[in-house]
């Protein structure tokens, strides 16, 4: 299959949002991982809820509000400096190890990011991680004032890159995002980073299902939304062979 | 404050959705509680995602799809009969113990349900629990083909009851629903069934945050969505005194 453009989701797809855990663990020993999991779930919920409520705020506001929720619910006291330190990490997330090599291998096509992140957050992130020069565009849904998976978000790809949806391969590890893009009419490669057998096994093996396993399940396993992505891959490095 | 109408959310507000746990526990020993928690989170997610994707399916479809997701992720094998038995419980949920007495005490005002549930599910539910004759209307968002907290869902109250938003007290234990109703312009009483001190304490006390505690936190603690309900009560029985 030939694609004129390959467009990536950012958070969780090119960037490992779990890489925030080192900073949250330092600020709140013993809570690092659970903070990142609750934070992520609420961050996503708030994008959907605010979109439906027609009370759009950009992703930096939503990321702050979902972090505030998380720390409050866990009963963790904090000062403004600790909060700011955690938030700052969102501009310095780590790329997945195979991200740069994959972008390099796909050279020749239009390459872009389409993300819920605000323009400011995304520009800082791609620059800090050194992939700004590898991308033709870093597209924030900001201008539409509605988050993915609303169709209005995915229309920005054609608008900004001039490539029709059927000639775009959209790449996301987020099941709801992969489904939203497919429902919109893009070709979609979903990255299944956690295998279902491993997930089910982790649940069966323990008497009490461990919370992190369950939170990961909610984010990593394909959703039941009536659509199926075109491709299921395990990692970014599997992308180049989909091009041939 | 005088209200011309009091309108209730159904699932989690008048009806205890955790009452499904006895049936799921019987079908899958050891998994009863965790199934209901994951099921509920995914059920809600799918209402929001399908609304945004403009791929509306009614609440009975979404409830089935989210249950299928839950059992798959937990690696639990099942047959159609077991699945149907669990689903059937959704038409026979238990009322909270103070629900009937509260409805009786509020008599004289217009009383109604506004729920994400499909018309068919809701009609069966109110009839099976014996409150059909206590209500002036059981309103499903079905006709709008978009779920709460979209404004289009809440407009049905004025349409069906002929009462202006500012004269309606909307009652919900679901934080996102309380926020959505408030953003729309209704007066709102939010039922805080789990106190924040208790929630934070449960997290602090255990080395590993227990999964059920965390799942409950995600559903029971007030969200950070930029709006605040007018009233915060602990149980349905607190409602009558808000009327004086």
Asked if B34 and A214 come within 8 Å (Cβ–Cβ), the reply is yes
Alpha-carbon distance A101 to nearest alpha carbon in chain B (angstroms): 32
Which residue in chain A has the smallest CA separation from B217?
A: A73
Q: Given an 8 Å threshold on Cβ–Cβ distance, is B73 in contact with A200?
A: yes
Q: Which residue has the higher pLDDT, A56 or B34?
A: A56
What would the two tokens of residue A25 be?
Answer: 């663990």
> With contacts defined as CB-CB under 8 Å, which chain B residues touch A200?
73-75
ipTM of the prediction: 0.95
Residues on chain B touching A209 (C-beta within 8 angstroms)? 31, 34, 74, 211
Cβ atoms of A147 and A141 within 8 Å: the answer is: yes
Composition of chain A by helix, strand, coil, percent to 5:
55, 15, 30
Torsion angle of C-alpha atoms B14, A47, B229, B105, degrees rounded to 10: -10
Q: Which residues of A touch B74 (CB under 8 A)?
A: 200, 203, 209
Answer yes or no: is pLDDT of A116 > 60: yes
pLDDT of residue B201: 64
Q: Within an 8 Å CB–CB cutoff, is residue B171 touching chain A?
A: no
Are residues B37 and B212 in contact, defined by beta-carbon separation less than 8 angstroms?
yes
CA–CA–CA angle A160, A176, B226 (5° rounding): 85
**Residue A175: pLDDT over 60:** yes
pLDDT digits over A42-88, tens only?
A: 999 999 999 999 999 999 999 999 999 999 988 899 999 999 999 99
For chain A, what is the mean pLDDT?
Answer: 93
Angle at B180 between CA B176 and CA B184, to 5 degrees: 170
Give the pLDDT confidence score for residue B118 in this predicted structure: 98
Question: Which residues are CB-contacts of B61 (< 8 A; sequence separation ≥ 6)?
Answer: none
Q: Reply yes or no on whether the pLDDT at A182 is more than 70.
A: yes
Chain B partners within 8 Å of A74 (Cβ)? 200, 203, 209
Q: Does A147 touch chain B (CB under 8 A)?
A: yes
For B197-227, write each residue's pLDDT tens digit. Answer: 766 666 655 555 666 677 777 888 999 999 9
Respond yes or no: is residue B177 known to be catalytic: no
A7, A163 in Cβ contact below 8 A? no
Q: Check residue A217 and give its pLDDT.
A: 75
Q: Does any CB of chain B come closer than 8 Å to the CB of residue A83?
A: no
Helix B59-73 with A196-205: angle, nearest 10 deg: 70
Contacts of A132 (CB under 8 A, 6+ apart): A123, A126, A138
Q: What is the pLDDT of residues B62-83, one digit of tens each?
A: 999 999 999 998 889 999 999 9
Each residue's pLDDT tens digit, A123-165: 999 999 999 999 999 999 999 999 999 999 999 999 999 999 9
CB atoms within 10 A of CB A143: 12
Name residues 208-227 of chain A within 8 A of B (Cβ): 208-211, 214-215, 217-218, 221, 223-227
Cβ <8 Å between B199 and A41: no
Q: Cβ B69–A223 below 8 Å, yes or no?
A: yes
Instruction: List the single best residue of A147, A224, A229 to mutate versus B (max B Cβ within 10 A).
Output: A224
Residue of B nearest to A222 (CA): B69
Show residues of chain A in contact with B75, CB under 8 Å. 196, 199-201, 203-204
Order across the sheet with A168-172: list the strands.
A137-140, A110-115, A5-8, A168-172, A187-191, A231-233
First to last CA, chain A: 6
How far apart (Å, rounded) are the C-alpha atoms in residues A177 and A182? 8
Lowest mean pLDDT among A107-121, A152-166, A194-208: A194-208
Mean pLDDT for the stretch of residues A77-103: 96
What percent of chain B has pLDDT above 90?
80
Nearest to A50 by CA among B191, B52, B228: B52
Q: What is the pLDDT of residue A210?
A: 63
In this predicted structure, what is the pLDDT of residue B74? 87
Inter-chain residue contact A30 with B207, CB threshold 8 Å: yes
């Amino acid at each position: 299959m030939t694609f004129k453009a390959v467009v990536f989701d950012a958070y969780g797809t090119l960037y490992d949002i779990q890489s925030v855990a080192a900073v949250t663990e330092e600020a709140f020993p013993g809570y690092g991982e659970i903070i990142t999991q609750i934070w992520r779930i609420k961050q996503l919920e708030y994008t959907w809820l605010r979109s439906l409520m027609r009370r759009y705020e950009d992703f930096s506001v939503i990321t702050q509000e979902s972090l505030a929720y998380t720390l409050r619910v866990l009963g963790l006291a904090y000062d403004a400096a600790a909060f700011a330190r955690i938030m700052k990490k969102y501009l310095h997330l780590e790329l997945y190890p195979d991200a740069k090599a994959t972008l390099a291998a796909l050279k020749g096509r239009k390459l872009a990011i389409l993300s819920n992140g605000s323009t400011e957050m995304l520009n800082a992130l791609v620059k800090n991680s050194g992939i700004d020069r590898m991308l033709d565009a870093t597209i924030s849904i900001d201008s539409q004032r509605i988050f993915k998976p609303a169709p209005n978000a995915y229309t920005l790809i054609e608008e900004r890159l001039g490539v029709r949806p059927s000639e775009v391969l959209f790449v996301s590890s987020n099941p709801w995002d992969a489904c939203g893009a497919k429902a919109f009419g893009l070709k979609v490669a979903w990255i299944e980073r956690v295998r279902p057998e491993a997930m089910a096994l982790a649940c069966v093996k323990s008497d009490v299902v461990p919370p992190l396993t369950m939170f990961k399940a909610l984010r990593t396993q394909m959703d039941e939304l009536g659509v199926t992505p075109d491709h299921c891959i395990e990692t970014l490095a599997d992308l180049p062979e989909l091009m041939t």
